[in-house]
Amino acid sequence: GIQVEQSPPDLILQEGANSTLRCNFSDSVNNLQWFHQNPWGQLINLFYIPSGTKQNGRLSATTVATERYSLLYISSSQTTDSGVYFCAAYSGGSNYKLTFGKGTLLTVNP
Amino acid sequence: GAGVSQSPSNKVTEKGKDVELRCDPISGHTALYWYRQSLGQGLEFLIYFQGNSAPDKSGLPSDRFSAERTGGSVSTLTIQRTQQEDSAVYLCASSKGGGGQPQHFGDGTRLSIL
């Protein structure tokens, strides 16, 4: 099955800083999603982005499907951005399951 | 409802007991998924339903796990004779269809086996 790797595993920022999170995947994808898991454990949809670029406020994402990677950009980070960011991908198969990376733990300090 | 609803939000039970977890998907979503998040294993896929059918049950970790979906809506995940390694957060997701449609997750059920 598809392999999903995220980097860096941990990231510590000062409030106001920018950051880039990376997701590499081993196969072509039909679905690629970015999630934020907040400290309460809720998994929040950020982007559905199997290809192209999207923006939502201070967050944006780009997937270059031909090169098998996706990037999540966080600008002007806030303490509420803290948590784990997951990339998940589906590349085919009858069960449509998402394969998750191990996540990036982001800590934003005031 | 507006989102995927799961109940209970927390469940503590003794080893050997049976537990039943419930998922109510977003209205109109035909596809439903169960995942498990545990400390050592990350987020892993358990089972997928299209309508009331589960074409592939190979993700279920043992024969103590079973799931069903009725009326193309609510799903239950049942764990029989619970073991301590079953402790995890069980997450349910739904999507409009299969084939790579975006999946929307509920808040999960945190299961603790004593």
Question: pLDDT tens digits, chain A, 110 residues: what are they?
Answer: 899 999 999 999 999 999 999 999 999 999 999 999 988 888 999 999 999 999 999 999 999 999 999 999 999 999 999 999 999 999 887 778 899 999 999 999 99
Backbone φ and ψ of A24, nearest 5°: -105, 140
pLDDT digits (tens, 9 = 90+) for B31-47: 999 999 998 678 999 99
Query: Which DSSP category does A90 fall into?
Result: E
Distance from CA of B107 to the nearest CA of A (A): 5
> Contact, B72 vs B85, CB < 8 A?
no
User: What are the tokens at A94?
Assistant: 């009858």
pLDDT the model gives residue B1: 53
- Helices and strands (H and E) in chain B: how many: 0, 10
User: Best interface-test mutation with A: which of B37, B44, B45, B112 has the largest number of A CBs within 10 A?
Assistant: B45
Rounded to whole angstroms, the Cα distance separating B68 from B104 reads 19
Q: Does the distance separating the beta carbons of A50 and B42 come in below 8 Å?
A: no
Residue type, A86: F
| Percent of chain B with pLDDT strictly greater than 90 | 84
A 10 A CB-CB count for A6 gives 22
CA distances to A12, B29, B47, B107 from B74, in Å: 40, 11, 14, 15
Q: Residue length, chain A?
A: 110
A 10 A CB-CB count for A16 gives 11
Nearest Cα neighbor of B36 from B44, B28, B48 is B44
Q: Does the distance separating the beta carbons of B59 and A96 come in below 8 Å?
A: no
Rounded to whole angstroms, the Cα distance separating B41 from B48 reads 19
Q: Which residues of A touch B (CB under 8 A)?
A: 29-31, 33, 35, 41-43, 45, 48, 50, 86, 88, 90, 94-100, 102-103
Which of B45, B55, B103 minimises the CB distance to A33?
A: B103
How big is the A-B interface in CB pairs under 8 Å?
58
Rounded to whole angstroms, the Cα distance separating B6 from B77 reads 11
